[in-house]
Amino acid sequence: MRLYLLDYGAGNVQSLANSITKLGHSFEWISTAEDFDNATHLIFPGVGAFRSAIDNLAAKGLVEPLQQYIRSGRPYFGICIGMQILFESSSENPGSPGLAVVPESIGKFNDSDKTVPHIGWNSVQLLDCDDDPAGINPSACYYFVHSFMARYDASLPSAAWVHTTCQYGQEVFVASVKKDNVYATQFHPEKSGQAGLDLIHAWLSNSPTSESSRARIVRSVPPRPKDGLTKRIIACLDVRANDDGDLVVTKGDQYDVREKAAPPSTSDGALKASTGGAVRNLGKPVDLTAQYYAAGADEICLLNITSFRNSPLNDQPMLAVVRAAAREVFVPLTIGGGIKDTIDPDGTPRSALEVAGAYFRAGADKVSIGSEAVVVVEEMLNSTATAEESRPQNGIESIARAYGRQAVVVSIDPKRVYVDPATYDGPYKDELIHDTQTGKAWWYQCTIRGGREARPVSVVQLAKGVERLGAGEILVNSIDRDGSGLGFDCDLVNLVRQAVRIPVVASSGAGNTQHFVDVFNNTDVEAALAAGIFHRKEVEITAVKDALKQNGIASRVMV
């Protein structure tokens, strides 16, 4: 076997490369048209936008050789955009023709009844149940991340291609196609844990060719009352150098990560300011990442929490951590910290896109932007420019354009600002939360630099601003709840959830399994993230999922 991977240069293909290596196979990259002649097997792991894929392939002279390869009958495996590109066109970029192998076009999800992108673990339905050499496990969930899809309709000619379907909201769409030598999935097997690795392994061991093809059963798939999308449980690792210069996983209380030299609370129970002890060390980043993957985390988030002090591009130890973690973990990996336009200590300017690119090449699937998002939205709020084009492009826009909006998470670090509800007449009065029991009222202010500096931007302004700029997901931390174990701040999470149509992740304050049940029952968030209780081994991820199951909340079960 000579396996080639096709990288058109826009996305993170490292995850797939890591999966293939994990499965014990070697591969080469397609770099010239001639490489197609040498390939016996080809995988195209496309991410990003439809047009970038087509334009980049065209610019490299690879469209015709790819078409010839597919026509030759040798096995082709497309992933995400690598599946969509097989279709005739996409409403994402109407002027860009696809390869027209499958006679249908790609459309956009309807976002009137659900958040878009469709991000997360969803179940798939095999249309043809007799035998499945492609290795789909009907009881597994697979990881999807996309805004566009091929609608499934049994009456269309393209139905003969459809291998599995998936349902999001009330829309049933094509989860995979399989015909002759062509196999392609909308979901990411390389990010779908063991079920995904099994599927890649099955394709590599038993890739279908035209000889093995047979007639497909075409049947209609009416939408079920509820889709199969599960709530995600995310483990978060705050990473920084300790006083010896080693990268460690740390964890703060209200973002203070240093050990307290004195007892942690004052006589009135309030948290004390840091007394400047050592940086808390809860373990090694790569070891913990691997443990959380094995324990069933649906996603893992690594935050370089002091990256604002240096250029992350010069932070080779952190990039090495990302690289090593990505080799061990086959669920989505989000990396944050220092993603902004910056100037290196030697005076070299670096764009946010370059910084993100370094993280993606190291193995990140998404990047998380914190401080820079606040700065950009603040500038936008203060800008008198009416036309979008009249202002320079910022990091959120440039990364979303290059890698797709689903690759851009904005991480918000808000803090409560208490006001007197009787007299407050400030700009955030429509966003005030009132506690009827205590009579207190507050709004949520955004901060930058790990909570060190508050800015005149509310959490609602930030959420709406970054959605407009192209963020694909919002991670809502809470400085007040961080490390407290008091539960998620559902008022805060609901404010953000109701302000945007993109997925929202609740973070900060988880102290027990019931807190996860509460946040999913009391808000409409797609995911919940925790750090301290997992690091201190107070609660196992499986215990969280058991509690969700007992309360009728669907989550991914490992197969």
Which chain residues interact with ligand 1PR by CB under 6 A? 236, 238, 251-252, 255, 257, 303, 305, 307-308, 336-339, 368-372, 411, 413, 450, 477, 482-483, 507-510, 530-532
Residue by residue, DSSP assigns 124-161 as EEES--S--TT---TTSEEEEEESEEPBP-TTSGGGGG
CB of 12 to ligand 1PR, least distance (A): 19
| 515 part of the active site | no
| 80 part of the active site | yes
Q: Which one, 192 or 368, has the nearer CB to ligand 1PR?
A: 368
Q: Is 477 annotated as a binding residue?
A: yes
Q: Which one, 119 or 531, has the nearer CB to ligand 1PR?
A: 531
Rama region for 291: left / alpha / beta (φ>0; ψ in -120 to 50; rest):
alpha
| 188 part of the active site | yes
Q: Which one, 43 or 236, has the nearer CB to ligand 1PR?
A: 236
State which residue has the least CB distance to ligand 1PR: 450
CB of 346 to ligand 1PR, least distance (A): 20
Q: Is 242 annotated as a binding residue?
A: no
| 113 part of the active site | no
Catalytic residue among 7, 35, 41, 80: 80
Contact indicator for 7, 61 with CB cutoff of 8 Å: no
Nearest to 121 by CA among 15, 222, 195: 195
The helix, strand and coil proportions of the chain, stated in percent and rounded to the nearest 5, come to 30, 25, 45
CB of 484 to ligand 1PR, least distance (A): 7
Alpha-carbon distance of 162 to 128, in angstroms, equals 9
| 413 part of the active site | yes
Look up residue 341 and give its two tokens. 């336009």
Q: Which one, 79 or 396, has the nearer CB to ligand 1PR?
A: 396
Catalytic residue among 188, 201, 515, 535: 188
CB of 511 to ligand 1PR, least distance (A): 8
Q: Is 240 exposed, middle or buried, given 0-12, 13-18 or 19+ CB atoms closer than 10 A? A: buried
Alpha-carbon distance of 349 to 462, in angstroms, equals 26
Catalytic residue among 35, 190, 227, 328: 190
Residue by residue, DSSP assigns 350-379 as E-HHHHHHHHHHHT-SEEEE-HHHHHHHHH
Q: Which one, 35 or 372, has the nearer CB to ligand 1PR?
A: 372
Q: Which one, 311 or 521, has the nearer CB to ligand 1PR?
A: 311
Per DSSP, the three-state class of 301 is strand
CB of 274 to ligand 1PR, least distance (A): 10
Q: Which residues contact 415 (CB under 8 A, 6 or more apart)?
A: 444, 445, 447, 451, 454, 478, 479, 480
CB of 514 to ligand 1PR, least distance (A): 14
Nearest to 368 by CA among 488, 251, 458, 239: 239
Catalytic residue among 315, 372, 413, 489: 413
Q: Is 80 annotated as a binding residue?
A: yes
Q: Which residues contact 520 (CB under 8 A, 6 or more apart)?
A: 231, 528, 548, 553
Catalytic residue among 171, 227, 238, 526: 238
Look up residue 165 and give its two tokens. 């379907």
Per DSSP, the three-state class of 223 is coil
Annotated binding site for L-glutamine: 80
Annotated binding site: 80, 338, 477
Annotated binding site for substrate: 338, 477
Q: Which residues are catalytic?
A: 80, 188, 190, 238, 413
